[in-house]
């Protein structure tokens, strides 16, 4: 049976009545903090139910459009929470986290991943490879699965590798601000870029290849005769309804080039926000809120990337950017503002001189290539085309004069060449 909005509105009405009934029956505790938290949770639940029923559908329809409407409403709730935190004092904002988890609101030391960077430590006779085993913690599979899912979102090998390598350069550049950015060279390039990130990107590309070759012909569950076929159909409900291959083509036009650069910038900023928010809000890396934020970005990021690609690929049909893409951009910006407000001293620590030189050189190279590819190269090509047409016109004119043709043919060719030059 198809779930309609009338059914979901009925569920919303029943939920509201149930909440009111429970509130009337039980005796209200005299704990102000408890009542406040319970009221906020109930309000969020009612808003989520309303949004799931009434929000506009996004580009995805599997496993169900209501699932993606739910994450759209969660985006609104999270953005409102960030704005609330932004308008608190630093001390009040950190202590407010105690209402979510009493163990929060306490300064936490950052772990230093640097130190002894020997792969084989001869000084440790018990275990010479102890430095490697110390790095093999729970964040290794998190890196792998994170980049596997990011590849499914971006659907482009080059963009994923650029973001992966760029983030390692950012860790090098900012290790004087956050101690946990200080890692060994082999931790940066072998464990992160090649093993965890590279393997995740490879598996993601293989999955994308399978999805692009898969036949998308759907059949109703009750029309399938065998139980094996029914179970297979249930599993495939969590795969895309149809497949769209992303072809970003950043060098095809200045608009697409700037859009791809903006996507990479927002991705990197969201990655940095993960570490800086933990630092300024005193959240340990293994806390469940950190994991929930990553799960949130996995769900909303896929929708946002699809909306951005549709807007770039066919702007005549998609007149404006999708709602989820705007919310993701707003959330990323608000998180960065919280970091700036809560710890401006850390962010304003000056970069080492050699790091500054490297970034200035990189920016100059990118700007130079942009100017050459989209301005100087086009002007040169147009000039060469005009020169070629002028030479052809001169050759035809000399040929007509030598053959004794009339002046009218020459004038017709001149007019035709002028029209072609105007079109160019």
Ranking 163-177, 200-214, 392-406 by mean pLDDT, the lowest is 392-406
The whole-number average pLDDT for the span 182-187 is: 80
Q: Examine the pLDDT at 1 and tell me if it is beyond 50.
A: no
Q: Examine the pLDDT at 349 and tell me if it is beyond 60.
A: yes
Q: Cα(330)–Cα(75) distance, rounded to whole angstroms?
A: 10
pLDDT of residue 392: 73
Per-residue pLDDT band at 110 (split at 50, 70, 90): low
Q: Which residue has the higher pLDDT, 18 or 312?
A: 312
pLDDT of residue 113: 57
The whole-number average pLDDT for the span 371-393 is: 80
Ranking 150-154, 227-231, 249-253 by mean pLDDT, the lowest is 227-231
Give Cα 132 distance to the centre of its chain: 30
Q: Examine the pLDDT at 410 and tell me if it is beyond 80.
A: no
- Cβ neighbour number for residue 127 with a 10 Å cutoff: 11
Q: Are 324 and 303 in contact (CB under 8 A)?
A: yes
Task: For 37-98, give the DSSP string.
Answer: HHHHHHHHHHHHHHHHHHSPP-S--SS-HHHHHHHHHHHHHHHHHHHHHHTS-HHHHHHHGG
Selection from 374, 354, 91, 181 nearest residue 260 by Cα: 374
Task: For 224-258, give the DSSP string.
Answer: --SHHHHHHHHHHTTS-SS-------TTS-HHHHH
Q: Cα(260)–Cα(250) distance, rounded to whole angstroms?
A: 6
Residues above pLDDT 90, as percent of the chain: 38
Looking at residue 113, the DSSP 8-state letter turns out to be B
The whole-number average pLDDT for the span 245-249 is: 88
Q: Are 221 and 233 in contact (CB under 8 A)?
A: yes
Q: pTM for this one? A: 0.82
pLDDT of residue 242: 76
HSE (CB half, 13 Å, CA atoms) of 419?
6
The whole-number average pLDDT for the span 196-212 is: 91
Per-residue pLDDT band at 35 (split at 50, 70, 90): confident
pLDDT of residue 161: 94
Tens of pLDDT, residues 386-409: 777 777 767 666 666 565 554 455
Lookup: tokens for 260: 């791809």
Helices (H), 214-343: 227-236, 254-280, 288-313, 323-342
Under 8 Å CB-to-CB from 203, ≥6 apart: which residues? 148, 151
The whole-number average pLDDT for the span 3-18 is: 63
Angle in degrees, CA 315, 320, 321, rounded to 5: 100
The packing angle between helices 139-154 and 288-313, to 10°, is: 20
Per-residue pLDDT band at 270 (split at 50, 70, 90): very high
The whole-number average pLDDT for the span 20-47 is: 76
Tens of pLDDT, residues 142-161: 889 999 999 999 999 999 99
Q: Examine the pLDDT at 75 and tell me if it is beyond 90.
A: yes
Tens of pLDDT, residues 301-339: 999 999 999 888 877 777 788 899 999 999 999 999 999
* Measured CA distances, 374 to 324, 367, 381 (Å): 30, 11, 11
Q: Examine the pLDDT at 266 and tell me if it is beyond 90.
A: yes
Average pLDDT over the chain reads 82
pLDDT of residue 375: 87
Angle in degrees, CA 264, 268, 270, rounded to 5: 115
Per-residue pLDDT band at 225 (split at 50, 70, 90): low
User: 240-265 in b/e burial notation, b at 16+ Cβ within 10 A?
Assistant: eeeeeebebebeeeeeebebbeebbe
The whole-number average pLDDT for the span 100-107 is: 88
Q: Cα(99)–Cα(252) distance, rounded to whole angstroms?
A: 51
Looking at residue 189, the DSSP 8-state letter turns out to be I
Lookup: tokens for 246: 């992303």
Selection from 306, 299, 301 nearest residue 322 by Cα: 306
- 131 — alpha (psi -120 to 50), left (phi > 0) or beta? alpha
pLDDT of residue 203: 94
């Amino acid at each position: 049976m198809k779930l309609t909005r009338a059914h979901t509105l009925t569920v919303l009405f029943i939920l509201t009545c149930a909440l009111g009934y429970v509130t009337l029956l039980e005796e209200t505790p005299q704990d102000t903090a408890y009542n406040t938290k319970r009221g906020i949770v109930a309000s969020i639940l009612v808003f989520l139910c309303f949004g799931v029923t009434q929000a506009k559908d996004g580009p995805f329809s599997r496993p169900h459009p209501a699932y993606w409407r739910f994450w759209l409403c969660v985006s609104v709730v999270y953005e409102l929470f960030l704005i609330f935190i932004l308008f608190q004092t630093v001390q009040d904002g950190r202590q407010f986290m105690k209402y979510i988890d009493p163990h929060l609101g306490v300064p936490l030391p950052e772990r230093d991943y640097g130190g002894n960077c020997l792969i084989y430590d001869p000084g440790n006779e018990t275990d010479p490879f102890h430095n490697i085993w110390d790095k093999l913690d729970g964040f290794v599979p998190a890196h792998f699965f994170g980049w596997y899912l990011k590849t499914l979102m971006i659907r482009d090998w080059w963009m994923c590798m650029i973001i992966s390598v760029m983030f390692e350069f950012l860790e090098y550049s900012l290790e004087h601000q956050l101690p946990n950015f200080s890692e060994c060279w082999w931790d940066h390039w072998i464990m992160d870029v090649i093993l965890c990130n590279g393997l995740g990107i490879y598996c993601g590309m293989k999955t994308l290849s399978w999805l692009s070759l898969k036949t998308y012909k759907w059949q109703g569950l009750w029309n399938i005769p065998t139980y094996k076929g029914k179970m297979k159909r249930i599993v495939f409900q969590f795969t895309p309804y149809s497949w769209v291959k992303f072809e970003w083509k950043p060098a095809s036009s200045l608009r697409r080039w700037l859009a791809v650069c903006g996507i990479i910038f927002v991705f990197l900023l969201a990655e940095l926000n993960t570490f800086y928010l933990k630092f300024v809000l005193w959240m340990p890396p293994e806390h469940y809120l950190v994991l929930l934020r990553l799960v949130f970005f996995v769900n909303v990021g896929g929708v946002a990337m699809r909306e951005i690609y549709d807007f770039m690929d066919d702007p005549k049909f998609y007149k404006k950017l999708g709602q989820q893409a705007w919310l993701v951009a707003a959330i990323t910006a608000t998180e960065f503002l919280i970091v700036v407000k809560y710890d401006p001293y850390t962010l304003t620590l000056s970069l080492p001189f050699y790091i500054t030189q490297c970034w200035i050189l990189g920016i100059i190279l990118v700007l130079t290539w942009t100017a050459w590819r989209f301005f100087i190269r086009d002007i040169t090509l147009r000039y060469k085309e005009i020169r070629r047409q002028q030479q052809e016109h001169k050759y035809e004119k000399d040929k007509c004069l030598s053959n004794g043709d009339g002046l009218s043919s020459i004038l017709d060719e001149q007019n035709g060449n002028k029209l072609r030059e105007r079109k160019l």
